[in-house]
Amino acid sequence: MSENIRIALAGNPNAGKTTLFNALTGSNQFVGNWPGVTVEKKEGKLKKHDGVVVTDLPGIYSLSPYTLEEVVARNYLVGERPDVILNIVDATNLERNLYLTTQLVELGIPVVIALNMMDLVKKSGDKINTEELSRQLGCKIVEISALKGTGVMEAAEEAIKAAGEIKTVPQHTFSGPVEHAIAHIEEAVVHSLPDEQQRWYAIKVFERDDKVLESLKLDKASLEHIETDIKSAEKELDDDAESIITNERYVYIAGILKSSYKKHDSGILSQSDKIDRIVTNRWLGLPIFAVIMFFVYWLSMVGIGASATDWANDGLFGDGWHLFGIGSSAYEEAAEEYGDTPAILEALEAGEKTYVTVDDETLETSDPIEITDEVAAEAKSMAEKYGEEGPDPASYGVWVPGIPVLVGNLLEKLGTSEWLSGLILDGIVAGVGAVLGFVPQMLVLFLLLAFLEACGYMARIAFVLDRIFRKFGLSGKSFIPMLVGTGCGVPGIMASRTIENERDRRMTIMTTTFIPCGAKVPFIAMISGAIFGGSAWVSTSAYFIGMAAIIISGIMLKKTKMFSGNPAPFVMELPSYHLPTVGNVLRSMWERGWSFIKKAGSIILLSTIVVWFTSFFGWTEEGFGMLAEDQLDSSILAKIGSCIAWIFAPLGWGNWQAAVASITGLVAKENIVGTMGILYGSGELTAYQALAQAFTTVTGFSFLVFNLLCAPCFAAIGAIKREMNNAKWTWFAICYQCGFAYLISLIVTQFGNLFAGNVNVVGLVFAIASVCVIFYMLFFKKYSEATKLTANVVK
Ligand code: GDP
Ligand code: MG
């Protein structure tokens, strides 16, 4: 058997590496992790070729040692030295992609370029002179489309050919002073290495790359010697060594592209450019974004979503509903005519002269109303017309009973024991049903977000925000994880991998989950529905509070030593606007929605069972046993809740139910609604009515803010731990999130109460102190030396 040939696939993220890798290897793949780190390692045998192994390296923008991906890719290339590098280049993004290429060709390993996405280039009408490009870069280029499968095997065969052949020699040179220094360095410290590797090492030494300097184990004298060479080049070119190299690479690339790349119809503003002029405008960008997000939340929470959720909550998971809505209005008219009849009759029977009415939503009782003879007669005739029970919805259309009614009837027929029907009705149906009731609203929200993402608008927002973020030492890159986090925090946290700077990455991991994810939508909608009359402002404000929390935290953390440093340059291509395909948007909506429904069927089901058992069992005067609905205060859960409720007392909602709901929210945020459905919905009142009684607008909002910002669910905490790869940082993140949430909701409660006219002096003092600390961090504390706020923006 011949010796193995090892082909390494290297390229920028999203250049199409995975697509090419799959096309080359088919099903002969082995997936594992790179030794010692969590970056995925994929290897596979080349189709129809014995003894050729393809390795998919992590996607990288350069060979600098800043991200984990870069270190892994670089260690592999430098340490293992594959026989050939197949550099996949996204032809629609030549400038950025070739930056990596200029570094790969310096390694002294044969390089073949697979120029990918040629289908798109041809479609756009751009012209690439491949021969010229190949000549200038000094390596073979094969045009391919990984997606369509064209040219893929030819590229691999070229790579195999190159593996046996001569080395690739870099064609570009740096400016005089740099080359002068590099020559000195080669002479002084790397001459013992194989010829073809010397240049790469010398350039890295010139850049003062720590890891390379370490690996060379230089003595003090040579270090000092090369330092004078580097210094003199820096002085001559008036920049630091690393920036000199970066700039010269880009200048070189710009030069090559001038002679080998021609963009179609340059000069004329495309439709996309015209839209961008407004949408990414310095002043209009943010207001437009705010209006769009308000509209998105309004549509999903109030416009379309609310009626669907009303149906799901009151109909499907409530008493029942009229099929196709036929008969609903006739029934409502009758119900209105029937009106206060029961209250009047009851009062008459008791021999009273007045009666009171109770508002369905607020549960407020009216002032006593006098019963005149006229009123009494009217009530009697109503009772005759509709019967003592009032109008029956079933006589106005096809009445479909809700799930709780159906399940209740079934259980009664089966004669199940009291505790079992309690578990099923008050536990599972009430808990899981409360969560599932929000699915319609959530699907509408996901649909709209998926549309904004797919049409290219969200990419613009990252760009708009970068301009603002950068003023505070943050990068717009932190926005991408946030965007992903609106669906679910777990992939959001994972998306932070694209951030080069370790400190910024940690910071983003810590703050991403502030944004309301899909699982938080139900409780936000519940609070807004029960306490704020369903106002769209509440849910929209949740989104902007989440975003503000990220920005405020970012600024505060950035000013500490732990997180100081320059933001990474933000490089992102703005895709042109396009109408997304219906299938894509629906698929994205369904993926998010379905994972939500699956969760309701597993982890939330389990949690509601636990919550039900612990809330309906407990100690009474007769000893341990099942409790009646008005005895929940003696339950196990109430005992546990009371032990921790004091913690939340300063936030204004120190009752055990709310405390318990926040804790179960750590398992999964949907549980907040499920738990409240069980704990508040089991008495005479509906859960909404009970909530409206238990919370004021101030404490309700404070509860919302706390649960929005505090530590995320276990799954997301697990993701934080994996990405931090460090227990201390994980705990720091959790504590920061909880502490921040606590302070902000303390501020909301205390100042809210102050305006409502009931002052708690101690609480207010703490709230004012918190505001002062935050203000100090935001406006007065200085950035450390390490953070230069003038960092250049790369568009
Ligand atoms: P990776 O991040 O480098 O692994 O990139 P992927 O293989 O995941 O590809 C990124 C995106 O580019 C995917 O949506 C692919 O479908 C798309 N893509 C890859 N190759 C081509 C191509 O040749 N033409 C077109 N039009 N799209 C491609
Ligand atoms: Mg990939």
Residue nearest to atom 9 of ligand 1 (CA): 16
Please state the atom number of ligand 1 nearest to the C-alpha of residue 21: 7
Cβ(16) to ligand 1 under 6 A? Answer: yes
Task: Out of 12, 18, 19, 116, give the residue to mutate to test ligand 1, the one with the largest number of ligand atoms within 8 Å of its CB.
Answer: 19
What pLDDT does residue 289 have? 87
User: From the CA of 17, how far away is ligand 2's center (Å)?
Assistant: 6
Cβ(150) to ligand 1 under 6 A? Answer: no
- How does pLDDT run across 106-146, given as a tens digit for each residue? 998 999 999 999 988 888 788 899 999 999 998 999 999 99
Task: Give the pLDDT band of residue 759 (cuts 50, 70, 90).
Answer: confident
Task: Give the pLDDT band of residue 50 (cuts 50, 70, 90).
Answer: confident
Based on its alpha-carbon atoms, the radius of gyration of the chain, rounded to whole angstroms, reads: 33
* DSSP characters over 3-69: PPEEEEEEE-TTSSHHHHHHHHHTT-EEEEE-TTS-SEEEEEEPTT-TTEEEEEPPP-S-SSSSSHH
Rounded to 10 degrees, the C-alpha dihedral 706/708/710/716 comes to 160
Task: Give the pLDDT band of residue 793 (cuts 50, 70, 90).
Answer: very low
User: From the CA of 363, how far away is ligand 1's center (Å)?
Assistant: 58
For domain 176-262, the question of CATH label 3.30.2130.30 is answered with no
Q: Which ligand is nearest to the CA of 42?
A: 2
For the cut 90, the answer to whether the pLDDT of residue 7 exceeds it is: yes
Verdict on whether the full-model pTM lies above 0.85: no
User: From the CA of 744, how far away is ligand 2's center (Å)?
Assistant: 39
What pLDDT does residue 549 have? 94
- How does pLDDT run across 51-95, given as a tens digit for each residue? 899 999 998 888 887 778 888 899 999 989 999 999 999 998 898
- How does pLDDT run across 437-456, given as a tens digit for each residue? 778 877 888 888 888 888 88
In this prediction, residues 484-494 reach a mean pLDDT of: 80
CB 7 within 8 A of CB 86: yes
Largest CA distance in the chain: 114
Q: What angle do CA 73, 76, 82 make, to 5 degrees?
A: 115
For the cut 60, the answer to whether the pLDDT of residue 564 exceeds it is: yes
User: From the CA of 479, how far away is ligand 2's center (Å)?
Assistant: 21
Token duo for residue 61:
């923008």
What pLDDT does residue 792 have? 37
For the cut 70, the answer to whether the pLDDT of residue 480 exceeds it is: yes
Strand partners, 141: 113
- How does pLDDT run across 414-438, given as a tens digit for each residue? 877 778 887 887 778 877 877 787 7
In this prediction, residues 531-550 reach a mean pLDDT of: 88
CB 494 within 8 A of CB 309: no
- How does pLDDT run across 156-197, given as a tens digit for each residue? 999 999 887 766 777 788 988 999 999 999 888 888 888 888
User: From the CA of 121, how far away is ligand 1's center (Å)?
Assistant: 13
Task: Give the pLDDT band of residue 785 (cuts 50, 70, 90).
Answer: low
The residue to which tokens 């504590």 are assigned: 735
Length of the chain as a residue count = 795
Neighbours of 459 (CB within 10 A): 18
For the cut 70, the answer to whether the pLDDT of residue 267 exceeds it is: no
Q: What angle do CA 611, 613, 618 make, to 5 degrees?
A: 115
Cβ(19) to ligand 1 under 6 A? Answer: yes
For the chain, helix (H) and strand (E) counts, in that order, are 37, 15
Strand partners, 399: 322
Task: Give the pLDDT band of residue 794 (cuts 50, 70, 90).
Answer: very low
Q: How many angstroms separate the Cα of 364 from the Cα of each of 337, 356, 367, 552, 692?
A: 21, 10, 10, 40, 10
Top mean pLDDT of 247-261, 359-373, 561-575, 620-634 is at 247-261
What pLDDT does residue 1 have? 39
For the cut 90, the answer to whether the pLDDT of residue 701 exceeds it is: yes
Cα 282 to chain centroid distance, Å, stands at: 25
User: From the CA of 148, how far away is ligand 1's center (Å)?
Assistant: 10
Greater confidence (71 vs 384) lies with 71
What pLDDT does residue 746 have? 94
Cβ(124) to ligand 1 under 6 A? Answer: no
**CA–CA gap between residue 464 and residue 792 (Å, rounded):** 15
Residue nearest to atom 24 of ligand 1 (CA): 117
**Residues above pLDDT 90, as percent of the chain:** 22
For the cut 60, the answer to whether the pLDDT of residue 788 exceeds it is: no
- How does pLDDT run across 310-351, given as a tens digit for each residue? 777 777 777 777 777 676 777 777 777 777 777 777 777 777
Cβ(486) to ligand 1 under 6 A? Answer: no
In this prediction, residues 736-752 reach a mean pLDDT of: 94
Average per-residue pLDDT for the chain: 83
Task: Out of 14, 57, 89, give the residue to mutate to test ligand 1, the one with the largest number of ligand atoms within 8 Å of its CB.
Answer: 14
Task: Out of 29, 60, 147, 581, give the residue to mutate to test ligand 1, the one with the largest number of ligand atoms within 8 Å of its CB.
Answer: 147
CB 163 within 8 A of CB 291: no
The residue to which tokens 């709209």 are assigned: 448
Neighbours of 398 (CB within 10 A): 11
For the cut 90, the answer to whether the pLDDT of residue 153 exceeds it is: yes
Task: Give the pLDDT band of residue 104 (cuts 50, 70, 90).
Answer: very high
CB 704 within 8 A of CB 665: no
Cα–Cα nearest to 679, from 698, 699, 697, 659: 659
For the cut 80, the answer to whether the pLDDT of residue 573 exceeds it is: no
Cβ(40) to ligand 1 under 6 A? Answer: no
User: From the CA of 14, how far away is ligand 2's center (Å)?
Assistant: 7
Please state the atom number of ligand 1 nearest to the C-alpha of residue 15: 3
Cβ(18) to ligand 1 under 6 A? Answer: yes
User: From the CA of 20, how far away is ligand 1's center (Å)?
Assistant: 8
The amino acid that residue 521 corresponds to is V
- How does pLDDT run across 232-257, given as a tens digit for each residue? 999 988 888 888 898 899 889 988 98
Please enumerate in sequence order all residues whose Cβ is within 8 A of that of 496, keeping only pairs 6 or more positions apart, or say none: 478, 481, 505, 508, 509, 512, 723
**CA–CA gap between residue 502 and residue 408 (Å, rounded):** 56
Cβ(17) to ligand 1 under 6 A? Answer: yes
CB 114 within 8 A of CB 87: yes
Please state the atom number of ligand 1 nearest to the C-alpha of residue 56: 4
What pLDDT does residue 364 have? 63
The residue to which tokens 């002068």 are assigned: 180
How many Cα atoms are found within 13 Å in the side-chain-facing hemisphere of 762?
Answer: 4
What pLDDT does residue 83 have? 93
For the cut 90, the answer to whether the pLDDT of residue 154 exceeds it is: yes
User: Which residues have CB less than 5 Å away from ligand 2 (the ion)?
Assistant: 18
Cβ(151) to ligand 1 under 6 A? Answer: no
In this prediction, residues 622-642 reach a mean pLDDT of: 79
Q: Which sequence spans correspond to the domains of the chain?
A: 5-163, 176-262, 320-391, 441-793
CATH topology of domain 5-163: Rossmann fold (3.40.50)
User: From the CA of 48, how far away is ligand 2's center (Å)?
Assistant: 23
User: From the CA of 16, how far away is ligand 1's center (Å)?
Assistant: 4
In this prediction, residues 352-359 reach a mean pLDDT of: 71
User: From the CA of 3, how far away is ligand 2's center (Å)?
Assistant: 28
Task: Give the pLDDT band of residue 722 (cuts 50, 70, 90).
Answer: confident
In this prediction, residues 566-585 reach a mean pLDDT of: 72
Instruction: Indicate the pairing of strand 140-143 with strand 354-355.
Output: unpaired
What pLDDT does residue 572 have? 61
For the cut 80, the answer to whether the pLDDT of residue 474 exceeds it is: no
Cβ(113) to ligand 1 under 6 A? Answer: no
Cβ(497) to ligand 1 under 6 A? Answer: no
In this prediction, residues 632-649 reach a mean pLDDT of: 87
